[in-house]
Amino acid sequence: MRFELSHADVRELIMLALSEDIGAGDVTTELTVDAGRRASGRFVARQEMVLAGVELLPLIFECRGEPVDDINITHLSGAHLAAGAKFATLRGPARTLLTCERVTLNFLQRLSGVATLASRFVKAVEGTSARVLDTRKTTPGMRRLEKMAAAAGGVTNHRMGLYDAVLIKNNHIAAAGGVRAALKAVGKTGMPAEIEVRTRQELDEALECGARHLLLDNVAPGEAAEWIRIINGRATTEISGGVTLETARAYAETGANFISAGAITHSAPAVDINFGLVLS
C-alpha cells in the first residue's frame, strides 16, 4: 500500500508540524553543528511493526525548503518489519537532518502505530467473512494520513467525513422523530444510507422501511448473532461499539459483514523507531 501524498491537506499538515517544532530556528543545532557538515542517517524499527508513512520523507524535507542529497526507501507502507530492520536512509546537510528528525519520527511512529494496531485487528478476524473498518475517531488534522495508515495495516476505510456518506446515528433518529422518519428524509436524496439500530424494535422498523445497511451498535456478540439471523441477508450489517482486539473475533463470528473499531486510530500506541546519524 503506497501513501497518496498529492492532497493539499497532507502538505499543509507537514508545514504546520515543521513550523510548530522549528519556529524561528533550531538554536541547538545551529550552535553546535557546522553549517558545512554532511551526514547520513538511517531509520530502524526497534520492534515488530507494520510500517506506514515512510513516503512522507521526501515531502518533509521539500516542505522545509532544504532538500537532502539522497533518500533511499527500502520498505514501503504496509511492510511488516521485524525488530532491527532498516527501512530508509538519508544523506545531506547535518543541520537539516537533525532539525527535521523529531517531526519525521513523530509522523513515522504515530502512523506506523496505527498500521500496526490495524493489522492486529485484521489478524484477529482472519478466516471469517467480516472486514474491519476504521472510523472518524482520528487525531484532528491527521485524518487523511491516519486513514491511509489504517489501510496500510489492512483495514477498509469507512467514510472520510460527514460529507461523503449517509450514516444515521441514534441522535439523528431522535431529532428526526424516529427510524421511519429519518429513513424517509434521507431517501429523498437517492444516496445509500446506513442506519444505527440499538433495539429489536428499531431493527424491525428499519427492515420494514427497506433499510439496506444496518449498524448494530453496542450489542453483545450473542445478541448480534441473533439479530443477524433475523436480518437473514436482507441488509448488510456492521457491528460497532465495544469492539476491541479481545472481542473482535467473537463479533466477526456472528456473521456480520463488517466490524468497526475506533481504537485503531484513537488508541494506537506509537511504535519505537530509531534515527541514527553518522557525521562525515
Which residues does the annotation mark as catalytic? 102, 137, 169, 196, 217
DSSP letters, the chain, are ------SHHHHHHHHHHHHHHHTT--HHHHHHS-TT-EEEEEEEESSSEE---GGGHHHHHHHHT---SEEEE-S-TT-EE-TT-EEEEEEEEHHHHHHHHHHHHHHHHHHHHHHHHHHHHHHHTTTSS-EEE--S---TT-HHHHHHHHHHTTPBP--SSTTSSEEE-HHHHHHHTSHHHHHHHHHTTT--EEEEE-SHHHHHHHHHTT-SEEEEES--HHHHHHHHHHHTTSSEEEEESS--TTTHHHHHTTT-SEEE-THHHHSPPPP-EEEEEEE-
